A and B are shown apart, each in its own frame.
Chain A
Amino acid sequence: MAGNKGRGRAAYTFNIEAVGFSRGEKLPDVVLKPPPLFPDTDYKPVPLKTGEGEDYVLALKQELRETVKRMPYFVETPEEKQDIERYSKRYVKVYKEEWIPDWRRLPRELMPRKKCKKAGPKSKKAKDTGKGTSLTNTADVLKKIEELEKRGDGEKSDEENEEKEGSKEKSKEGDDDEDDNAAEQEEYDEEEQEEENDYINSYFEDGDDFGADSDDNMDEATY
């Protein structure tokens, strides 16, 4: 490219006329910056189509946009805990229908796992959704609270780690892993009951037992 400059005049290797301009003509300046973000247009855009059909489609579009926000498929991002809990927040919440997917059509690994312990050998099989029964919120929650309380009363502290607990832990770990032969299928639980933290619920059970039993049954050392 720079080679030939010294040996006489630079000659173009092709017919310069073919490109369209002659030698020595003033060419436009080299552009040294990126093109503008909003370049001027010489021609203004054509007006939009109007008409009854278009208006109707527009209305449909806007309605659809509002409706999808209210559907249960719209997954809200979990909000950060605000420093001051506002009283009005409780009343602004929009009531959303709960949606239970048809688990027969979905891979089993997508079912959410309950973090709370199950009552050992009595593993609950998933109710066939074909029955069409959906879990009612309040009845279930009350039942679960009762079960947990009952279990909490009879529970020893974690240091004991009886085999019963050990097997439960293991079964819990097993569930969290690949679930291809999941023996225990859990019911689809409401979101409120699943805590999105890393703590296994069994480590801290508040209530009467906290601290009270630990002194009595110290067979093993505390870590």
Chain B
Amino acid sequence: MTQAEIKLCSLLLQEHFGEIVEKIGVHLIRTGSQPLRVIAHDTGTSLDQVKKALCVLIQHNLVIYQVHKRGVVEYEAQCSRVLRMLRYPRYIYTAKTLYSDTGELIVEELLLNGKMAMSAVVKKVADRLTETMEDGKTMDYAEVSNTFVRLADTHFVQRCPLVPATENSDPGPPPPAPTLVINEKDMYLVPKLSLIGKGKRRRSSDEDATGEPKAKRPKHTTDNKEMWPLAYSQSQHSRVNSEFQFTFQTQTSSEIVRTMLRMSEITTSSSAPFTQPLSSNEIFRSLPVGYNISKQVLDQYLTLLADDPLEFVGKSGDSGGGMYVINLHKALGSLATATLESVVQERFGSRCARIFRLVLQKKHLEQKQVEDFAMIPAKEAKDMLYKMLSENFISLQEIPKTPDHAPSRTFYLYTVNILSAARMLLHRCYKSVANLIERRQFETKENKRLLEKSQRVEAIIASMQATGAEEAQLQEIEEMITAPERQQLETLKRNVNKLDACEIQVDETIFLLESYIESTMKRQ
């Protein structure tokens, strides 16, 4: 892990779990797999605290453990999972857009708690929703469970691996068909839910028999639903969807592509280069309701998309009215390239961007050729090329004419290696997010006294309002914060908001670059 990543991980862990967990986590990321005693010894923390920290980290799927020979258990941190914590708000928002408030709350609860049993999630979310609803109405457990099942169906949530059942005291074998039996009237009984399964890890069927205090069951099989890896891939699909929209000119074509992506969400793994082939008939059937285009128009659109030079959509066969695939790898590649171009443009100016695009297009160019093609005077072109070279956007390729690599008899060609440039940019993004977080923490710390004061004043006002106070008194309390202080608070709030928004936006770029790099590495 690079230093920048480790720094970012440390900041994220500290914000979410406190300093002790951060120390243990960073130590594990740095040194790899280690047993308990060694961790305690190396970090100088007490054994109790190390145990607590490890429990928290394992609960949140950031650390895994393995039993080695002689019974030694070793713990290993997963740096990429820690970095995902930056993206939590985005996941919650994606769930909201797709599954409305219920989905949003389910995802939020799961993210906050790492893993939870389905019954616990449903109960908590239903209670939360009930609070926000009008008096007298209560949220139906059934509805929440339905949303949960839908989330599981589209792979937003995933089941944790189960502890294998060693005893045979399990009540009842798993049922062959899904049945949702819910006891709505009695709020204290957690509803019994059973789901069907396919595949070992994903959703194996199971009974959730909990909650009844009278019937003390000796053992119940778990049905924890874990949030992590699938939310990642799922949200990724949704995000890639939204990125695609921007590249397509008309709304219809973007809608068609979105439909295709939606259909292939489950069937395609997150790093596959192509989606599964979809026939044009299927696409026609799956278009959103209310989208009235005829089959012929759809076919025309598909043909046009397939012929497009960008090559996002390809035709893979003729059965079923034409089989079409989406070339995810190409799409990610062009998105990454666009990002690079835009970065060059914003950093160095539009003439540099012209040179960059030129080299990108022509693959390898000599210095003289660059000057000629770009129509930029030699001195400036040279200057810009070297600036980009020093920042590693462009690299130099040597082609020797003679085996002794004499410089006078060697060609030096400029080229853009997209993969390495993307990696470099990604590294920079990690650094900038770390800087943003640090700056935000600094700003907050600087004004800590003022923030505390304003919080206290608010608390006083709230309590006074609750007990019924006059306007004059409230006015007096509010004046405890002077005008310049108010100004300062305003500035602080604006700055913190801006820094937060920056983090979110840089995270989008990180997501894109990471997806591209992953997709390219898988192909090789």
Contact = CB atoms under 8 A, between A and B. Distances in A.
Interface of A: 12-15, 18, 20-21, 41-43, 45-46, 48-49, 53-54, 56-58, 60-62, 64-65, 67-68, 71, 73-77, 101-102, 104-107, 109-112, 128, 130-132, 178, 180, 194, 196
Listed from nearest, the 10 A-B pairs whose CB atoms lie closest are A14-B407, A14-B408, A60-B89, A180-B71, A61-B89, A20-B382, A75-B18, A107-B73, A110-B51, A101-B55
Contacts, number: 135
B20 to A, nearest CB: 5
A97 B401 CA distance: 73
A132 B36 contact: no
A194 B48 contact: yes
Nearest to B15: A65
A75 B15 contact: no
Nearest to A104: B163
A56 B114 CA distance: 23
Contacts of B255: none
Contacts of A75: 17-18, 20-21, 49, 52-53, 56
B288 interface: no
Given A13-B406, A20-B378, A73 B48 contact: no
A130 B215 CA distance: 12
Contacts of A60: 89, 92-93
Contacts of A68: 15-17, 112
Q: How large is the interface on B (under 10, 10 to 19, 20 to 34, 35 or more residues)?
A: 35 or more
Contacts of B382: 20-21
Interface in B1-37: 15-21, 36
B490 to A, nearest CB: 16
Contacts of A56: 93, 96
Interface stretch (B149-157, B262-270, B499-507): B499-507
**Would you call the interface of chain A mostly helix, strand, loop, or mixed?**
loop
A106 B55 contact: yes
B53 A46 contact: no
Nearest to A53: B93
B67 interface: yes
Interface in B207-226: 210-211, 213, 216-220, 222, 224
A73 B17 contact: yes
Interface in B350-384: 367, 378, 382
Nearest to A71: B112
A74 B14 CA distance: 9
Interface string B126-150: 0000000000000000000000000
Contacts of B108: 64
Contacts of A104: 163, 222
Interface stretch (B57-65, B228-236, B309-317, B476-484): B57-65
A64 B51 contact: no
Contact of A58 (B49, B163, B500): B500
A74 B408 contact: no
A76 B46 CA distance: 14
A45 B112 CA distance: 34
Contacts of B89: 57-58, 60-61, 64
B216 to A, nearest CB: 6
Given A68-B112, A104-B163, 13 more contacts: A13-B408, A49-B505, A53-B93, A57-B89, A58-B497, A58-B501, A60-B89, A61-B89, A61-B503, A68-B15, A71-B113, A104-B222, A106-B55
Contacts of B20: 75, 77
A104 B52 CA distance: 16
B382 to A, nearest CB: 4
B412 interface: yes
Contact of A132 (B73, B210, B407, B505): B210
A12 B498 CA distance: 53
B243 interface: no
Contact of A131 (B71, B112, B216, B349): B216
Given A58-B497, A196-B48, A43 B54 contact: no
B16 A130 contact: no
A77 B502 contact: no
Interface string B153-195: 0000000100100000000000000000000000000000000
